[in-house]
Structure 1
Amino acid sequence: MLIAGRTIAGLCVGLTSALVPIYQSEIAPRKIRGRIVVFQGLAMTSSMMIQYFIQYGCSFLNSEAAFRMPWAIQICPAIILFVSLFWLPHSPRWLASVDRWDEVLRVLAFLRTANDDTNDPLVIAEYREIEDQILSERDADSNSFRELFSRKIRKRVFLSMAIQMWSQLSGMNVMMYYIVYVLQSAGVANPRLASSGQYVINFVMTIVCLMWTDRWGRRPSLLVGAIFMSFWHLLIGGLLKQYGEPNSVANEPYTLVIVGHAAVSRTILACCYLAVATFALAWGPISWIYPPEVVPVRVRAKSVALATAANWAANFALGFAVPPLLRSISWRMFILFGSFNIAAFIHVLFALPETKQRTLEEMDEIFEHGEPLWKPSEPSVKRINSTSLRGILKRAFCLSIGCRKSQRTVDSRLRREIRLV
């Protein structure tokens, strides 16, 4: 019964973890899209914190309720989500993909205006942009499964999968799943209570990320986060190597223990806290923001599903690998995770373009503009300030003589530029 229940729960968590960021990114205005998607991370960190304290309290019960109650309580948010879904609007981009155009306009007006004004100029402009993108994709007449691994899209798909995998290989799960073992090895008194700080910090720093992610940008956050995560892991590994002594107790999950070095124990605890804070500011939220941003609507669900599958596959592998690694290579395990973060830094530096405050319809242009990645593309508003009237007239002329091959793309850009002017 337990295995069957966990299997059903796993299927449901897999579905929602893939679909929620897609939905959020498609209904959000571009200027605050990052913040909207970070709400998923905030919901996860807050629920993890609440559930940890529930489990911590139940650990003092001397009955079957110690494990039955935490599982039973999880029913409540599932019921709330199920009931709430009946009041949530459809994604306007999904509605457009199934030709429900009247509903697209109504949903956009509901999401963007206070009085559901379907005649609002910004609502109409976004409607036209979605329309152009959807119709342009249909003109390509491409099979979505084939296009998912086409030369144009596969780079974005693999990049999304890599971002999700790096977020797991950053070592965050060591700090969350097995933090009690790490703190026991470090000689921290009352490790269960001390580990509760991890969950509080994770929640609080996600709020900070929620406030600033659309200003910091995706690329700088991941680069800085990878460097600092690497530093904390390397420092923990170095301290365990220098001050750790062989564990005299057999069959323990850890083989090194720090005894009589209170300052070292506190330093390792601080490094664990700082590693969690760094992850919550960078890799945690942004690994969920980036995948739904970078792919067209026709393959978005499939691409995000693959990225999420990569996340859970890495999570699954680490769940099995960390306990034996902690026993067999002890302090070297933290050196390994520090190295993973350095590799993630190099990958992001040379492969990941900035996407903040750009519309989902502009992602083709971002990934195909060919400029160095460390020179982020400027938002449309800044680009138009340097666009001359001559350039706009040139595109209008192209439309007037019927350049069929690029007509819809030119039409979309022309409308956007005129609107921004």
Structure 2
Amino acid sequence: MSLFGYDQGVFSGVVITQDYLDVHDLNGPEKTNVLSIITSIYTIGCFLGALLAFSIGEKLGRRKTIVIGTVIIAIGAILQTSSFSVPHMLVARIVTGVGNGINTATAPVWQTETSKLHNRGKLVLVELGMNIFGFMLSNWVNGLSYVGGPLGWRLPLAIQLVFCAGLFGTVPWLPESPRWLLAHGREDEAVLILADLEDKSVDDPVVVAERHAIVFSIEHERKHAIRWRDLLRGRASAGTNTVRRLLLGAGTQAFQQLGGINVLSYYLPTLLIKSVHLPEKMARLISALASVSYFFASSIAALTVEKFGRRTMMLISTLIQLVCFILVTVLFYLTEKPGYPFQTEVAKASVVWFFIYYIGFGLGMLGIPWLYPTEINSLPMRTKGAAAATMTNWLTNFLVVEITPIGIQNLGWRFYVIWAVFNFAMLPIIWAFFPETANRSLEDLDAYYRENPPLLVIKDKDATSVSRPQRFATAHSRDIEEAKATGLNKRSVQEDPSKILSSGEQEK
């Protein structure tokens, strides 16, 4: 994920480096459209990579898929570093994007499937924190432009290969997802990994119960599986709520991009130069400092995501983003108002709200949209669901990255109204429709959707509570007790959590 963050941030410095503009003949406002296309075409490659991920990811497994994605990124990095023309750079950006799309669709799924329920969110957000570490590093590396010449942009692009080398040296030795192994009939390997993850023996009741819960979820989903052609035609059988879960996961990724993050991630130096009227060196320095606050906010999110839950952190994050864009809009309006005596001062005052925006985004909407699709989708749909969510991310990302330079140039302060409106609209949707996934096992969520819950979640305490619903905790404990007493793999009570209530009523 550090490589992903580095890739996102490094081009913000490249596009304002004079030698890069000279070599590729991109000087002047009439070349703004071409600059936008070169920057945004990377996200089209990421979309294609995510599309490829769900066709190969379920066949090859999480580990091999990451290795393939990294090979493609390395090829793209070499092509970018050696670029001498616009067509050359366009091809290089697409290739790099394909590799990154594969990895970003796969890594969160792999992390989720090898994590315990009490720290799953924390670990995925630590992963996204490393994304921002890479982004922060790229912003400081972009300071190499001070030396001038080709070194100022070719070396930052070449540093991508250092991250690739790190992945090649570690990924092949990491454990495969036990859930993927069980889904593909490799039970012995899966049980060994489950035992290692729990630090218990393979015949421990906890391991036995977990294996059986995963197997039951796999079998249930396969019986109610929906083909992609049926999904696209709107044909869905009852029983698993596949389409609803798919839309919830993809929705978080769309909201992440429509919240306006990549107005800043890709173009903050450009924005500071054109809207705040800062010199290039100061714009680069402020961008680098803002990325540090971004990194610290993402670190705080990793420590709080299990305590406050996904819903609350998404709502808080979106509210902060809304306030920031409202204030930035007002300040830029005053900056552009003819005759206003404090234009320079209010333009500079906007800078603090970019810092606060990064902090707000880092607290919630940075990591949760990558975590949520891997939790909300069922096991057989998890790779496809995460890939669909990632494709949604990259399509909306392309929209944002493509229109931003043109919007800044042609709309001025009105451009920022768009992002305030999006954030305002997102708040009630998150509150009303998105169930909590914190402190629940992946099998708990499968059991929840087998009950066909209502679309609106705000009246369902089990859907909005941060703590694990008691019926799921009871079902899990019963599975362990049964495995302990019999030593056999009996079917989990999670098949129908309502039986817990029924048995309690019978006792009365």
Q: TM-score of the superposition, structure 2-length normalised?
A: 0.71
Tell me which residue corresponds to 1:166.
255
Shift of the alpha carbon at 1:258?
Answer: 8.6
Give the aligned residue type for 2:193.
Answer: V
CA distance in 1, matches of 2:342, 2:473: 65
Q: Which deviates more from structure 2 when the two are superposed, residues 277-286 or residues 80-89?
A: 80-89
How far does residue 243 in structure 1 lie from its aligned partner after superposition? 3.5
- 70, 94, 106: which one pairs with 1:19? 106
CA shift in 2, pair 1:386/1:5, >3 Å = closer
Following superposition, the deviation at residue 385 of structure 1 comes to 8.1
Residues 359 and 259 of structure 1: CA distance in aligned 2, closer, same or farther (over 3 Å)? farther
- Equivalent pair of 1:245/1:259 in contact (CA under 8 Å): no
Structure 1 contact 206–281 (Cα < 8 Å) conserved: yes
Answer yes or no: is the 8 Å Cα contact 2:222–2:380 preserved in 1.
no
- Structure 2 contact 447–494 (Cα < 8 Å) conserved: no
- CA deviation after TM superposition for structure 1 residue 112, in Å: 1.6
The aligned residue for residue 402 of structure 1 is none
Partner of 2:209: 125
CA–CA distance in 2 between the matches of 1:108 and 1:93? 9
Q: Contact between 2:324 and 2:354, CA under 8 Å: does it hold in 1?
A: yes
Shift of residue 165, structure 1, vs aligned partner: 1.1
Contact kept? 1:354, 1:376, Cα under 8 Å: no
Is 377-386 or 332-341 further displaced after alignment? 377-386
How much does 1:370 deviate?
3.0
Q: Return the offset for 1:260.
A: 4.5
> What is the CA deviation profile of residues 357-383 of structure 1, one whole-angstrom value per residue up to 9, with x for unaligned ones?
111112234343338522441555633
Q: Secondary structure at the match of 2:439?
A: coil
User: How far apart are the structure 2 equivalents of 1:409 and 1:125?
Assistant: 8
Q: Is 1:175 equivalent to 2:261 in the alignment? A: no
Deviation at 1:16, TM superposition (A): 0.2
Aligned to 1:213: 305
Query: Alignment identity in percent?
Result: 26
**Cα 1:314–1:141, aligned 2, differ >3 Å: closer, same or farther?**
closer
Q: Is the Cα–Cα contact under 8 Å of residues 144 and 298 in structure 1 kept in the other structure?
A: no
Which 5+ residue runs of structure 1 have no aligned equivalent?
247-256, 397-406
Q: Is the 8 A contact 1:291 1:303 kept in 2?
A: yes
Question: 1:239 and 1:142, CA in 2 relative to 1: closer, same or farther beyond 3 A?
Answer: closer
For 1:40, the aligned partner's letter is E
- Displacement, 1:45? 0.3
Please, which of 276, 285, 295 is the counterpart of residue 186 of structure 1?
276
Aligned residue number for residue 231 of structure 1 = 323
Does 232-241 or 327-336 show the bigger shift? 327-336
- Measured after TM superposition, the shift of residue 242 of structure 1 is 2.4
Which runs of structure 2 are paired with 1:245-394 in the superposition (5 Å)?
245=337, 260=342, 263-367=345-449, 368-370=452-454, 373-374=457-458, 375-377=460-462, 379-380=467-468, 382-383=470-471
**Unpaired runs of 5+ in structure 2?**
1-87, 483-489, 501-508
Alignment deviations for residues 105-156 of structure 1 (CA, whole Å, 9 cap, x no partner): 100111121xx52233322221121122122233446546646862621112
Determine if contact 1:226/1:345 at 8 Å carries over to the other structure.
Answer: yes
Counterpart in 1 of 2:152?
A: 66
- Deviation (angstroms), 1:334: 1.3
Aligned partner of 2:247: which letter?
A: F
Between 307-316 and 125-134, the greater mean CA deviation after superposition: 125-134
1:315-349: CA deviations, max 9, x gaps? Answer: 11111111111122211111110000011112112
1:140-189 CA deviation, whole Å, 9 max, x = no partner?
46546646862621112122222111111111111222222333323456
From the superposition, tell whether residues 35 and 376 of structure 1 become closer, same or farther in structure 2 (CA, over 3 Å).
Answer: farther
Q: Give the SS at the match of 1:99.
A: coil
1:135 pairs, out of 219, 226, 245, with 219
Q: Give the letter aligned to residue 250 of structure 2.
A: M
Report the residue type matching 2:453 in the other structure: H
Deviation at 1:235, TM superposition (A): 0.7
Which residue of the partner structure matches residue 399 of structure 1? none
Distance 1:208 1:91 in 2: 27
Contact 1:187–1:258 (Cα < 8 Å) also in 2: no
Spell out, residue by residue over 1:294-316, the C-alpha distance to the aligned partner (whole angstroms, 9 max, x if none): 11111111111111011111111
Paired with 2:246 and 2:224, the residues of 1 have a C-alpha distance of 19
Q: Secondary structure at the match of 1:373?
A: coil
CA–CA distance in 1 between the matches of 2:95 and 2:447?
40
In structure 1, give the amino acid aligned to 2:471.
R
TM-superposed deviation, 1:19:
0.3
Worse-matched range after superposition: 180-189 or 222-231: 180-189
SS at match of 2:149: coil
Supply the distance in 1 between the matched residues of 2:294 and 2:155 (Cα, whole angstroms): 24
Q: 1:74-89 residue pairs with structure 2 within 5 A?
A: 74-89=160-175
Code of the residue aligned with 1:201 in structure 2: it is S
Q: Which residue of 1 is the match for residue 46 of structure 2?
A: none
- SS of equivalent to 1:341: helix
In the other structure, the counterpart of 2:68 is: none
Aligned residues: 389
Q: 1:259 to 1:297 in 2, by over 3 A?
A: farther
State the TM-score, normalized to the length of structure 1.
Answer: 0.84
Partners of 1:7 and 1:241 lie apart in 2 by 37
**8 Å contact 1:22–1:300 — kept in the other structure?**
yes
**2:288 alignment counterpart:** 196
Structure-2 separation of matches of 1:91 and 1:226: 32
Indicate the RMSD between aligned Cα atoms, in angstroms: 2.9
Distance, in Å, in 2 between the alignment partners of 1:204 and 1:314 is 26
Q: Whole-Å Cα distance in 2 between the matches of residues 322 and 13 of structure 1?
A: 22
Give the distance between the partners of 2:177 and 2:316, measured in 1 at CA: 33
| Structure 1 stretch displaced more, 60-69 or 44-53 | 60-69
Q: Structure 1's 264 and 356: CA in aligned 2 closer, same or farther, altered over 3 A?
A: same
Q: Which residue of 1 aligns with 2:122?
A: 35
Match of 1:106 among 183, 187, 192: 192
Alignment check: 8 A CA contact 1:31 1:214 kept: yes
Cα 1:322–1:161 shift into 2, 3 Å: same
